[in-house]
Structure formats: C-alpha cells, structure tokens
Amino acid sequence: MRKIVLFVLAAAALGAQQAGYPIEIVPPGKGPFTFPAGYQTPWDKIQIMVTSKMSPNLFVLHGSEGLDPAHPDASGGRAMALFGPDGVLLVDTENRQVADKTLQTIRSFTNAPLRILVNTHIHPDHTGANAFFAKQGALIFAQDDLRNEMLRPPPRPDGTPAPAPEVAAVPVVTYKYNAGAPGQPAVTFNMNGETVDFIPMMPSHTAGDTIVRFRNANVIYIEDFYRNFGYPFADQNNGGSIKGMLDAVDLIEKLADAKTTLVPGHGTLVKKQDLLAYRAMLVDMLA
C-alpha cells in the first residue's frame, strides 16, 4: 500500500471534525421525468453546484435535474472535492461538456491548486473531463483495469471501433484489486486534515471500480455499484457483473459503521442499512 503525505498536514488548522455534517444543500430530483423523442441534452443549461457538504472542506458537486436524460435526477455523476492548504483532491470529474463549469464551481470555494484526481470507474459522466483537469495540474489515479479499459475501449453498440482517448485523460498512477484482501486501501493520502483511502473493488459495476474513504469525515464515495434511482447496472462490456455488485455491497457492510455517510454516484446519500433492500434486489436478479 502506498502512503503519501502531501506538504503541510492541515489538521491543526482545520481542527477536529465539526458536528452538524453532512449538510445537504440541493437534493437530487425525484421525478417523474419525461423527455420528447429526439431530445438532446442542453449542456449549456446544465449547472454544476455544491449539492452537499460532508465536512468544512469536503464538498460534493452534482448537476442540474431534469435536463440530462441519462441521469435526470441530477446531471452526470457526483464529484467530490477535498480542499485546503495541501491542494485539491478531486474524486471524478463530471462530463466533458461541463468541465469549465465544474472548475468554476470548485473555484467558488477554493483557489488551491488541483493536485490529485481519482477515477472511480470508466464511464464518461465520471471521467469525461480527465484531460481538462490533468491540464490544470491534477495527477490521475485509478485501478489498472480502468486504465486498460480506457486504452482499449469496447466497440460501440453498432460494432464500430470506439475512439481512442485523449492521452492526457489516461490515468498515470495505477493500482490493482487484491482478491486476497478485499477492502485494503491501495493508496492513502494524508492531506488537508483528512486521511483518504483509495480502495480498489472487485469487478462490480465495471472491472476497474474504486471507492474512496474519507476517514475523519466518516464518508465513503461508493460510485455506481449502488444506486437508488433507476435499476442496477452492471456494465458487462467493461467487466462488470451483478454478482460482483452483490460482493461490493457486502464489503461496504464491513467497511462502514452505522453513522458512515455513503455517497453514491447517483441517487440520494445513504447509510449502510439503506443498502439492504438493494442487496435483496441483486439476490433476486441472480436467482
């Protein structure tokens, strides 16, 4: 496991974890949502907002509701930003089309340099702005399988080859899932008064999934193997499976305590007891 300490440890400056978190500012939409035939996402109308605060320096970013048919409850996948004197650690990037807006929102609460970006899985609502943020100075981390998925994307549904990724979008620091030690962090950062673990997951939503644990805030970003808006989706073209998603849910049961806030890529913020009904659904799908 890599352990990395960035510059000044800001614990003294930030103090102990404050009570009263998380604070939800903009909840995801509940629908129902309908879109006419031929509807195209109006990217110019989508806003990226701070939708929740997990601690004084750990914010969640998400997009507008009712405009993106792929994710009508809130456009794109959630991103998270840990910020302070050691710089910004970013979890996922939102879509490429809103990269400038995502950066603008980050700059609304910090001018610290972008240093670290971790991708939780391959999908473009989470990695679409990789190249943009790499050019801002972020070093991209991900599972080795995600890097391979990006370098060798599966064909499009019509069988034509997928386009090659931008070179700057490809993760440069990679790690692997250890089947002998599920839940073991591959990388740990101590920065901005927080301890952050990048925990590679078994093939679940995709083959290259990573969850991100913020120990002091008692928050885990659990990406897309769980969702409570829409149906479970295992991306088999990128190595995902329903069985793996079930294993991922069971691992969260071990990693989280009753007070841990779980931040999925889509849907509402939850606690681990909220995963039980979803787990039962996965079991039924495997039956």
Model's pTM, two decimal places? 0.93
Q: What is the pLDDT of residues 191-240, one digit of tens each?
A: 999 999 999 999 999 999 999 999 999 999 999 999 888 788 999 989 99
pLDDT at residue number 257: 97
- Tell me if 32 is assigned to some domain: no
- Tell me if 26 is assigned to some domain: no
- Tell me if 16 is assigned to some domain: no
Q: What is the pLDDT of residues 100-142, one digit of tens each?
A: 999 999 999 999 999 999 999 999 999 999 999 999 999 999 9
- Tell me if 41 is assigned to some domain: no
Q: Could you tell me which residues come within 8 angstroms of residue 90 by beta carbon, excluding any fewer than 6 positions away?
A: 79, 80, 81, 106, 114, 116, 117, 118, 133, 138
- Tell me if 216 is assigned to some domain: yes
pLDDT at residue number 161: 87
11 pLDDT above the threshold of 50: no
Domain count, the chain: 1
For residue 260, what pLDDT band results from cuts at 50, 70 and 90? very high
pLDDT at residue number 48: 98
How large is the average pLDDT for residues 71-85?
97
Domain, as residue range, for 132:
2-11+46-155+163-286
| Distances in whole angstroms, Cα of residue 116 to Cα of each of 6, 19, 140, 171, 276 | 10, 27, 6, 11, 33
- Tell me if 22 is assigned to some domain: no
pLDDT at residue number 2: 59
- Tell me if 114 is assigned to some domain: yes
How large is the average pLDDT for residues 78-101?
98
Please report, for the domain that includes residue 199, its CATH number: 3.60.15.10
- Tell me if 184 is assigned to some domain: yes
Q: Is 228 left (phi over 0), alpha (psi -120 to 50) or beta?
A: alpha
How large is the average pLDDT for residues 79-107?
98
pLDDT at residue number 16: 42
